[in-house]
A and B are shown apart, each in its own frame.
Chain A
Amino acid sequence: ETGVTQTPRHLVMGMTNKKSLKCEQHLGHNAMYWYKQSAKKPLELMFVYSLEERVENNSVPSRFSPECPNSSHLFLHLHTLQPEDSALYLCASSQGLAGGLNEQFFGPGTRLTVL
């Protein structure tokens, strides 16, 4: 595997379910991110981890819970979601925090549908 991988690629869940999204980066980077991409809206940054510590949480509801057990893996735990949470969830990584010169490398995303 190369680059940034995400599993599953598609997920359908009910509002009472609990599920997790997984992201793995094979680039040796030390920062990882979760973004939400909804139709007709700009990308929304959700969480940022640097050296396995959460450094940013952009007012994301508590029904989204991130976890970063090591610098290569990032999870997004989901529970009691709402239909408006249906979106493409993108994971990204970078060497050093993004901003300035550091570019981000993105995974293919998980298409989430909440019924």
Chain B
Amino acid sequence: AQSVTQLDSHVSVSEGTPVLLRCNYSSSYSPSLFWYVQHPNKGLQLLLKYTSAATLVKGINGFEAEFKKSETSFHLTKPSAHMSDAAEYFCVVSGYSSASKIIFGSGTRLSIRP
């Protein structure tokens, strides 16, 4: 069975400070992991994905995530937050070639303080 847990429903940081959005997963198989971002009134956009090629994955807009098998984690980070980063972020786990095996986390809302 697969599951994904986003540990914080809301994270607030000041502009220019680091961002950490936490995600833990559970999977019986070697998983593929994704982070998507959803800005207000928009659809979800892929930030980055892990597919076992490298444990540190770089995505768009300066975001990156590190796959840690021993901790079953795939946390999303960014060194310096920008106001435009304010959005909802979703961690996603999949392990099969079947859409029903794609599991979305409940989301983390990121707020940026001026």
Chain A residues within 8 Å of B, Cβ to Cβ: 4, 6, 31, 33, 40-43, 45, 48, 55-56, 58, 90, 92, 96-109
Contacts and interface: CB of A to CB of B under 8 A. Distances in A.
A22 B104 CA distance: 23
B106 A98 contact: no
B104 A42 contact: yes
A99 B99 contact: yes
A99 B95 contact: yes
A29 to B, nearest CB: 13
Nearest to B36: A106
Interface of B: 32, 34, 36, 41-46, 49, 51, 90, 94-107
A42 B97 contact: no
Contact of B43 (A31, A48, A106): A106
A100 B97 contact: yes
Contacts, number: 70
Given A104-B46, A106-B43, 14 more contacts: A4-B43, A48-B100, A55-B99, A56-B100, A58-B100, A90-B43, A97-B97, A99-B32, A99-B99, A99-B101, A100-B94, A101-B49, A103-B46, A108-B42
B97 A96 contact: yes
Given A42-B107, A43-B90, A99 B43 contact: no
A90 B59 CA distance: 23
B44 A106 contact: yes
Contact of B99 (A6, A98, A108): A98
Contact of A106 (B45, B51, B98, B101): B45
B58 to A, nearest CB: 15
Nearest to B100: A56
Contacts of B96: 99-100
Nearest to B101: A99
A45 B102 CA distance: 9
A57 to B, nearest CB: 10
A56 B94 CA distance: 16
